[in-house]
Structure 1
């Protein structure tokens, strides 16, 4: 395996070297970097031209400029990267750091959401092949995949940002009864399609969801939830217990009481942590949250190991999942607490452009809300577009695996459907999905150029586009360095994951 990895690294290095040379030559020959100054009427035009020639090294032959760039990149080995300056004299390494941080903040969450929900939707549609929900999901995913990014971004800005902000700014923001009925009908139809069953079960599921919606939305209006949201210990406990039970059903089955008790104990300790950390989380910092997260995961692992018995692995997973859910709910509760004060500062919370409010000052949670609301629209857009590929690949892979002999053998041995799907079919269907995940994440690190431009994000895509427009090779090569290296590393990671998922590949 080590020999294989080293060989791949060697071949990848040669590919990156050749590609960098080609891209450098293409970039410097794509236009005139002095065009705007040659057409200028400024009195100091000649000085500006000489200054730009000096910054960009235009008085040197192309191979000398490329060698200077390659030498600067080679210094990264000793931690002294020198990626040169752009045509304005700014250090590209500084611009790259800001652009990479902005892009990662934009695409990581969208990619994770698309992966998780895409895989879940793919499994569901594979299980319900050719059912009503399969056709509806297929139609929706391909529709989202086919949407022009700029047009979908405009729709999100109009209805999810401007429309919501106008509704929230009204004297009495509330849900009208036609809206409540439509939401109840849609939720009821979707839930009965997902849960399936006979006609009676579907009817009760639909009626239950509809009645719950018609009761919950007016109650939220009465609480003025839009301006003063809250969860409270009761809701946090109920959701935590539901997470523990649901994870037990999927991971081990409700008959395995040890696993169930591990999850329930974690949920109860999460409620204790809600009160114990309330003052500590009033205005924390990232270090405090990281320490608390590590402690929570450690306690969850300990509970799973102590309570699991012969099912220590399943109990640990259920306990950790429950701890993550409880921790997330506690963070949401603190965000809800800061929402009214945040509204007083910004007025219209859902932003349509930029990655953060300029010169924003507030508490930790208010700053968190500011960056989160700026992130909302582009995250939804990227997740919806990426959702189709993950769901379709998962569905196709699951259907192919389900026809294999070992799946029929597993059912013939008497294993329940949960074990057949999760422990046999799903794991083996992950191999082709792993490739898509690796390359998709590597590609997104390069930045969503159109999305960044529409929403005013100064990320990797913006860095690349600006470099090309200005015929400036330094930003373009910095972009290539990050994205090319990411593509190679994630390709290698996919190969290693193959061996983890399927031991036969190791041979």
Structure 2
């Protein structure tokens, strides 16, 4: 395996080197970096031209300038990283750190959501091939994939930000809106679950009744402006998630895995009660990360303790349940501070920027501000990626489900869950892994338009500013981040291939 990884790293390094040469040459040949000064009437124009010429080393040959840049990048391995300066003399390394942090925060969240939603929809549509649900998801996938990004972003800004901000000032749904939402919920749920006509009618009616009652209750409690979730909500939702994860991964007949999941939920809720004063009064990102790591470790340990003959499955189930419980704890804290956040920012969903200037809220209010700022671009990038993931997952699953070994597994009397999860899905993961790896790097490049529409100062702005000024330093910084991201994701994909199919290692 080590030799396999080293070969991939070596090949990737050669590809990066060749691509960096091409990118550097194309950038410096794309225009005149002195054009703005040549057209200037400034009395110090000649001095400014001479200063920029010296700073950018415009009198040197392209390979001398490239070698200077490559030497600076090489210094990153010895702690003396130098990515050069912009045409205005600003250090590119600092700009890159800020831009990469902003973009990667957006891209990572979008990728994770797209993987979970896209793969789940792909599996469901493959199982329910040629059903109404399959046609609906297929149509939606092609629609979202074909939408121009700038147009979809404009629609999101209008309806998910401006109109929502107008509505939240009152925070009440009209009765006819509640009825329509209930009907849509009933229609979608019966389409997903399927079954006989009677079962579909019962499912739709139950979903309609539940959604309408809940929404009317939320209106009566003014829940949208002053929401409440609480320990009970965390316990119920986490326990339901634990049961669902157990059903998907191990099956409900595996009592040890089920008990491990429920024990994890109980331990998580107790830990929340113990640490609540600390999380409310003295929160920090470092504290949250530390508690999350501890939660995962404890969850896996609970799974190992309950595991017995099914230790691996129990550890996986309890680990996933622990992550979900941690997310629900954070969600409860955010929900509890939503009312105070609205008091500081009456129009919560912003359409421009990655954070609100001069925002003076406490830790959880600032976290809500960051979350609402990232919401729209994340939705946009997720919708585009979900379309790709769902289609590839569906195609790969359909191909796998028609294989002889899947029919053999069914003929042996295995449950449909075991056939889908253990046999079909595992073997369908290789092409899906390829798409995920490429999509992460492609999203960084594709986020240029999204960042421009939503006013994010990320890698897209860095690339555009450098290309507009014919300045190779920021353009090469963009290439460095996206190139390394692409290499790392493809390396992880190669390792995943070897883990999924040991034959690939040879």
Pick which of 423-432 and 21-30 moved more: 21-30
Q: Which residue of 2 aligns with 1:245?
A: 243
Query: Could you tell me whether the CA contact under 8 Å between 1:184 and 1:213 is conserved in 2?
Result: yes
Pick which of 187-196 and 307-316 moved more: 307-316
C-alpha separation in 2, matches of 1:11 and 1:264: 46
Say whether 1:393 aligns with 2:392: yes
- Deviation, 1:361, is 2.3
Q: Which residue of 2 aligns with 1:430?
A: 429
C-alpha separation in 2, matches of 1:74 and 1:237: 51
Q: Which residue of 2 aligns with 1:455?
A: 454
- Deviation, 1:271, is 2.3
C-alpha separation in 2, matches of 1:479 and 1:279: 42
- Alignment deviations for residues 13-71 of structure 1 (CA, whole Å, 9 cap, x no partner): 33222222222121111111111111122233223222222221123222221121111
- Deviation, 1:447, is 5.6
- 1:10-409 matches, cutoff 5 A: 10-169=10-169, 172-283=170-281, 284-409=283-408
C-alpha separation in 2, matches of 1:247 and 1:9: 36
C-alpha separation in 1, matches of 2:54 and 2:455: 31
C-alpha separation in 2, matches of 1:257 and 1:18: 55
Residue 279 of structure 1 aligns to a residue whose secondary structure is helix
TM-score (norm. length: structure 2) = 0.97
Pick which of 204-213 and 55-64 moved more: 55-64
Query: Could you tell me whether the CA contact under 8 Å between 1:394 and 1:433 is conserved in 2?
Result: yes
- Alignment deviations for residues 311-359 of structure 1 (CA, whole Å, 9 cap, x no partner): 1122222222222222111111111121122112122100001000112
Q: Which residue of 2 aligns with 1:468?
A: 467
- Are the structure 2 counterparts of residues 505 and 11 from structure 1 closer, same or farther at C-alpha, using a change threshold of 3 Å? closer
- Deviation, 1:191, is 0.6
- Deviation, 1:362, is 2.0
Pick which of 35-44 and 175-184 moved more: 35-44
Alignment gaps of 5+ in structure 2 = none
- Are the structure 2 counterparts of residues 293 and 7 from structure 1 closer, same or farther at C-alpha, using a change threshold of 3 Å? closer
C-alpha separation in 2, matches of 1:373 and 1:323: 25
- Are the structure 2 counterparts of residues 24 and 32 from structure 1 closer, same or farther at C-alpha, using a change threshold of 3 Å? same
C-alpha separation in 2, matches of 1:7 and 1:191: 48
TM-score (norm. length: structure 1) = 0.97
Query: Could you tell me whether the CA contact under 8 Å between 1:446 and 1:482 is conserved in 2?
Result: no
- Are the structure 2 counterparts of residues 3 and 254 from structure 1 closer, same or farther at C-alpha, using a change threshold of 3 Å? closer
Alignment gaps of 5+ in structure 1 = none
C-alpha separation in 2, matches of 1:286 and 1:439: 30
- Are the structure 2 counterparts of residues 309 and 7 from structure 1 closer, same or farther at C-alpha, using a change threshold of 3 Å? closer
- Are the structure 2 counterparts of residues 288 and 485 from structure 1 closer, same or farther at C-alpha, using a change threshold of 3 Å? closer
C-alpha separation in 1, matches of 2:17 and 2:245: 47
- Are the structure 2 counterparts of residues 174 and 441 from structure 1 closer, same or farther at C-alpha, using a change threshold of 3 Å? same
Residue 308 of structure 1 aligns to a residue whose secondary structure is helix
